[in-house]
Amino acid sequence: MGTASELIMYDYPTLLREHHLKATPQRTAILQVMAHEGHISIEMIYEKIKGLFPSLSLATIYKNMIAMQEQGIVKELKIAGFKNRYEIQKQPHHHMVCQKCGSIVDVEFDVAQALEGVSKSHGFELKQIDLSISGICDKCR
């Protein structure tokens, strides 16, 4: 945090418009909560912002998550043993999940090169890598 290139990511209205989505207060709030909470579920988002928008509909969140996924702004995380969670797209990274407390930590680890070889040998055009490792985190031991 602190450099211009990082700060610009917090201008969510602009980010939305750049992706041909209207910058509504609801959308901006969703992104702010996601930025603050990290890996978050639909109804956690709902709980966090329904105070700001008393008439907020759950459907609004679902619809926005779909729209923002299509635009590559957010990403759905399907992790064994947990309900789906969402995060804002950022640098490629993977996840480290504690099976006890459910905490999710980002880890940067480059598997791309090795997997290029694997996929190439299958005539497979590699688009995306989803990797999560599960275990027991430092705190829970």
Partner DNA sequence: TTAGTCAAGGAGAAAAATTATCCTTTACTT
Partner DNA sequence: AAGTAAAGGATAATTTTTCTCCTTGACTAA
Chosen residue from 17, 63, 78, 90 binding its own copies by CB under 8 A: 78
Sites for DNA among residues 26-65 (CB under 7 A): 26-27, 42-43, 53, 55-60, 62-64
The answer to whether 60 contacts its own copies (rule: CB under 8 A) is no
The answer to whether 17 contacts DNA (rule: CB under 7 A) is yes
Cβ–Cβ under 8 Å, residues 95 and 104:
yes
Cβ–Cβ under 8 Å, residues 134 and 97:
yes
Strand partners, 95: 106, 132
Exposure of 141 in the CB half-sphere (CA atoms within 13 A): 5
Nearer to its own copies, 11 or 76 (CB): 76
Q: How far is the CB of 101 from its own copies (least distance, A)?
A: 12
By three-state DSSP, how is residue 98 classified?
A: strand
Q: How far is the CB of 85 from DNA (least distance, A)?
A: 10
